[in-house]
Homo-oligomer: A and B are copies of this chain.
Amino acid sequence: MDDRATSTRADAPEAILHGGDLDRVSRRYPDAPLPWIDLSTGINPVPYPVQTISPESWARLPAKSEERALLAAAATRYGVNAPDMIVAAPGTQALLQILPRLRPRSTVAVLAPTYEEHALCWRRCGHQVRLVDEPGALADADVAVVVNPNNPTGRLLSRDSLVRLAAVLRQRDGLLIVDEAFVDLYPADATVAADLPPATIVLRSIGKVYGLAGVRLGFAISSEDIAPRVREELGPWAVSGPALAIGTRALADDAWLEQTRARLANDCRRIDALLESAGCIVVGGTPLFRLITSPNALGIAERLARHGVHVRRFPAQPSWLRFGLPGNETDWQRLAHALRNVS
């Protein structure tokens, strides 16, 4: 990880390997059957159905009343008492870019391995970042970052342990950041957004479970002394008119979320069976993706690519592969066929 400590996106544009961009892999496997099945992300492949967007949403500057409606829906969905504690942003990544600016030079501990943009963004702003393996090591830093449930391992720290961590950090004017991008389908006690601990910022998103990564809409939930500073870093009209409308509707739709929970639970059982019959060991995941280990992970990824199936590799953990879920029966059949050929 030392290389990444000093590199930035500008001088090393490929320093972080992200899922979700098929351009490169499709160039490398020009003979793969089309269309590609992109299982390289943890994005729900059956997205929330986007309503018809009114011409005014595209044309007008997003109105404060529309933003208030979105924040009210988010407060209800996330169990947050005051909508003022929530700041809407054009994607969680926009918040990751901003959070390091809220602090003077700090020591930052990131519970790793995890989504790499957290460490990169803090480093870029001059903070001293350590990747730590154990939750116990988080309490020594000024700022602790936890993705919960974690991507890609699925590790879930308990609410109680996060509340205790926040209390320790608060004592030395520290900060706890909990990225809950994948928490929507977990039991209510998995989130710290409701009944927020002090000195804590929770990140939520409609990109993953709602399957709307292209909309660019994420949220920071924090105490009323922190939230205005986040809002000020973003500036006015940060979220597009259509994103305000889509988010307001999606977050209020209890029925869709329940159906999605049931469907994804079935899909996880189905993909786990496929993976295991291909000799992979499922070692982690969330309702949106599965993490497997195999001594032959690279070979599996390459053979899947030749079948037009793109999965996520982890250069620092070469025995790992992350599988998102197929979105329709055709893709399931193609995945099953491709996996039969790797076992």
Q: Which residues of A contact B (CB under 8 A)?
A: 8-11, 18-23, 38, 41, 43, 45, 47, 50, 53, 55-65, 90-91, 93-94, 96-97, 101, 117, 121, 124, 207, 211-216, 228-229, 231-243, 246
Given contacts A10-B228, A214-B62, contact A94 B235 (CB under 8 A): yes
> Do B41 and A61 touch across chains, with their CB atoms under 8 A apart?
yes
A211 to B214, CA, bound (A): 22
Could you pull out 5 A-B pairs where Cβ atoms are within 8 angstroms? A21-B61, A47-B59, A93-B236, A97-B235, A214-B241
Query: Which of B8, B93, B233, B237 touches A232 (beta carbons < 8 Å)?
Result: B8
> Do B60 and A231 touch across chains, with their CB atoms under 8 A apart?
no
Minimum C-beta distance from A257 to chain B (A): 17
A239 to B242, CA, bound (A): 13
> Do B43 and A211 touch across chains, with their CB atoms under 8 A apart?
no
CB nearest neighbor in B for A214: B241
> Do B215 and A58 touch across chains, with their CB atoms under 8 A apart?
yes
> Do B231 and A9 touch across chains, with their CB atoms under 8 A apart?
yes
CB nearest neighbor in B for A23: B65
Query: Which of B18, B90, B237, B239 touches A236 (beta carbons < 8 Å)?
Result: B18
Query: Which of B59, B62, B238 touches A211 (beta carbons < 8 Å)?
Result: B59
Contacts of A91 in B (CB 8 A): 237-238
> Do A64 and B10 touch across chains, with their CB atoms under 8 A apart?
no
> Do B237 and A93 touch across chains, with their CB atoms under 8 A apart?
yes
Query: Which of B50, B94, B237 touches A58 (beta carbons < 8 Å)?
Result: B50
> Do B60 and A55 touch across chains, with their CB atoms under 8 A apart?
no
CB nearest neighbor in B for A26: B65
Give the most central of A55, A213, A235: most B CB within 10 Å. Answer: A235
Query: Which of B47, B64, B213, B216 touches A90 (beta carbons < 8 Å)?
Result: B216
CB nearest neighbor in B for A212: B58
> Do A90 and B90 touch across chains, with their CB atoms under 8 A apart?
yes
CB nearest neighbor in B for A59: B47
A117 to B235, CA, bound (A): 9
CB nearest neighbor in B for A61: B20
> Do A61 and B43 touch across chains, with their CB atoms under 8 A apart?
yes
> Do A90 and B23 touch across chains, with their CB atoms under 8 A apart?
no
Contacts of A20 in B (CB 8 A): 60-61, 63
> Do A43 and B60 touch across chains, with their CB atoms under 8 A apart?
yes
> Do A90 and B238 touch across chains, with their CB atoms under 8 A apart?
yes
Per CB-CB distance, the 3 closest pairs between chain A and chain B, nearest first, are A214-B241, A20-B61, A10-B228
